[in-house]
Structure 1
Amino acid sequence: MKTEEYHVEGPVMIFLTTTAVDIDEELLNRCLVLTVDESREQTKAIHHLQREAETFEGLKRKVERERILAVHRNAQRLLKPLPVVNPFAKKLTFLSDRTRTRRDHVKYLTLIRTIALLHQHQRPLKERDGLQYIEVTLEDLAAANALAHEVLGLSLDELPPQTRRLLGMLEEWVDAQCGKREMERSDFFFSRRRLREVFGWGDTQLKVHLARLVDMEYLLVHRNSDQWQGYVYELLYAGEGEDGSRFLTGLLDLDSLKHGYDAKRSGSGRPPVGGWSPTGHPSEIPLQASQKGPSGLNGHRSGENAQEGENRKAS
C-alpha cells in the first residue's frame, strides 16, 4: 500500500459508483446520478457480449471500438473554447420548490451550453462589441430537455432508481392480474412472498424497497385477514409520470417559443396518489358476498381507520 498524489488543475470532475440504495444528500445535489440496468434482459445481453468477445467477431469489434473512440476524441480536439450565449435564457423555467434546485438549475443551464458548444461548427460565429460567441438554438433546448428528463429527472425523483423500477414492475403486474381476475385494483392485495416468486428478488432487497414505497404512500399495508398473520400490500400508484418514465417537471414548453407565446410551465408535478380503501381484504382474492360480515368487510369494524395500515411496516 502506498499513497498516490495527483495534482489537477480545476474544474475537477469525479466519478463514483456504489451499491447503496440511499445516497448522501450533500453528494446527491452536486452530481448527476445515473443507474445501471439490472434487468434480466440486460444481464442476458451482457453474457452474450462476453461470450462473443472470445470469438473472431469479438476481436474485430474490439478493434472497431478503438477506432470509433479515436474519432470521437479527435472530434473533441477540434472544439474551440468559445463563449455561448443563450437568447432564450430569461424565458426558461425550472423547479423552485426545493433549495437543492439552486444547484440543479446550474446543471440544466450547463447542459444547454454544452450541447451548443458541441455543435459550434454547425452554428454561425457571431461578434458583438468585440466579443465572438455562438448562440443556443431551439434544437439545443430540445436536446437538453430530453437529457434533463433522463438525468436530472432521475436525480430529483423522490425514489431511488431500483425502487422506481420495482414500482413500475408492480404496476404492470397488478394491472395484468386484475384484468385476468376481472377485479378492481383496490381489491387486489399481494404478499412479499408472492413478489419473491414473481420477480425473483431477494427478501432483503424487497423489504427495503417495499418499505420505501409504503413510506412514500405508493403502497398501503393491510393485515392479512385471510391467514390472520403477516401483512399484504395494496398498490396505490396509478402510473403517473407516463407509466413510470423519468420526468422533470417545471421545464419550459418549447412550443411556446416556436409560436411566440408567453413562457409557461410544462407541468405542475405528479398528481396525488389514489385514495384510501377499506382494510381487511384477503390477499389476491376478490371479495365474495358470503365473505362480508354484518359489521363490515370480513367482520371487521366498518369504521376502522385506514390510516392505521399506512403506519404498519411489512414484517
Structure 2
Amino acid sequence: MGRIPEDEVARIKREIALERVVAASGIELAPHGKDLVGRCPFHDDKTPSLVITPSKNLWHCLGACQTGGSVIDWVMKAEAVSFRHAVELLREQHFSSLVAQPERGGRPAEDGPRHHPKNSKRTKLPAFADGAVEAAALMLRVVEHYHEQLKQSPEAQEYLQSRGLGSPELLEHFKLGFANRTLGYRLPTRQVKAGRELRGQLTELGVLRESGHEHLNGAIVFPILGESGDVLGMYGRKLQKGPAPHMYLPGPHRGVWNLEAVKSSREVILCESLIDAATFWCAGMRNVTSSYGINGFTEDHRQAFVEHGVQRVRIAYDRDDAGDSAAEKLGAELNELGIETSRVLFPKGMDANEYALRVAPADKSLRLAVQHAVWTGKGHRVPVPAVVASEALSGCESLESVEPRTPAATAEVGFVDLAADLVA
C-alpha cells in the first residue's frame, strides 16, 4: 500500500475542523477566550482540561494526559486506529460537514480551516435529517451511507474481491456497504437537539451502541430488505479475523435476504451465511437465500417459503458437524411443511465460498454440487442425467488438493461424498 502524500496529510490537518470532529463524538465544548474547552475523554477528567485552538486546528490536554496534536492525532487516539486508518476516516469526510463552517455572512473564520469545494473529487453524501425522522427513512439513510463508504474503500473492495464477491452487480443490486466509523461524522453534534434525537434513534435501532460507536464497525454490511424496500435488518461480516466474524443488529432476525428468489422460484438454494448465498448468486444461481447461521432459519423464512409456493430446498450449509446436524434437522422440518429437501455437499470442512474459490470456475463447480445434492425428502429423487453432470464438470479445475472423506466416515452421516464423486 502506497504512502499517503504529505500534501494530502497537511491538507486534512488544515481543512477538517477539529472542533467538529470532537463535538461529533459527544464531547461538549465551551468557549474560553479564543479557545474551546471540554472534558478530556482519555482520562478521568473532573474539570475541563481539554483545550482546542480553532485558529490552529490543534488540541491539547492540560490534565493527566499531557498530550495533543492535530485532527489526525485526535482520531488515532479516540478510535484506537493507525495513522493510515485515521487519515482514511477523515478523508471520507473531506468537503463534508466536518469541514470548518463559515462565519455568519458566508466568510471563512480568520486563520481557520478553509473549504475549497471546487477541488473536491469525492461524492458528497446527502446529510442526515435535521432531527428525528421515521425509523424506515433513517435506516435507508444508514444503508445509503454504508453503500457509499464501500464504493470509496479500497480495503473493503479488496476483501470482497478476495472472496470472489467483487461483482459490481452484486454490490448495487443488494446495496452492500461498509461500516467504518464514519457514520457519527454525518450526524449533527450532540450539542444540538437534532444530534441527540438522531443518535437516540440509531441506538434504539441497534445501529449505534450506547457508547456511540457503530455496532457493525469494521464489517461488510448486507442490508435485509423487505418487499417495499424497507430495511428489516443488517448482517455484518468483519474484514479482520477474530472470534466473532458474523454480526447482526440486536434483536430477533427479520426478513429474508433476496426475497425475490423465493417469490419467483419453486426450487431454492438455502445457505448458512449471506457470504455463501452471495457466492451462489455471483455464480449465476440467483434462486438462493440464506438463514442467519445454523439456528437462524426464522418464522419469516417459513412463512415466505410456504406463501410463495417453494417446493424444493437445496440445503447448502457448511460441511462440518454443526452444519450437517442443522441441515438434517431443518430438512425434517421443511418436509413436515410439504417441502422436499436435499443436502448440497462440499468437501469436509468447507463452506460454499471456500469451495467456489478452490474449485474454479465457480459457476460450474457450484452448479455441479447442487446437481449432486443428496435427496433427504419423502418422495422419489429425480436422478441427474449423466450428460448434465458431465457438462457441469467440464472445465473445472482438479479437486486433487481436496481430501475426500472415506466411505466409512461418509456412511456415519448417510451422505454420498461429493469430492469423491468429482475426482472419481
Shorter-chain TM band: under 0.3
Flag the structure with higher helix content: 1
User: What TM-score comes out, normalization by structure 2 length?
Assistant: 0.20
User: What TM-score comes out, normalization by structure 1 length?
Assistant: 0.24
Tell which has more relative contact order, 1 or 2 (C-alpha 8 A, sep 6+). 1
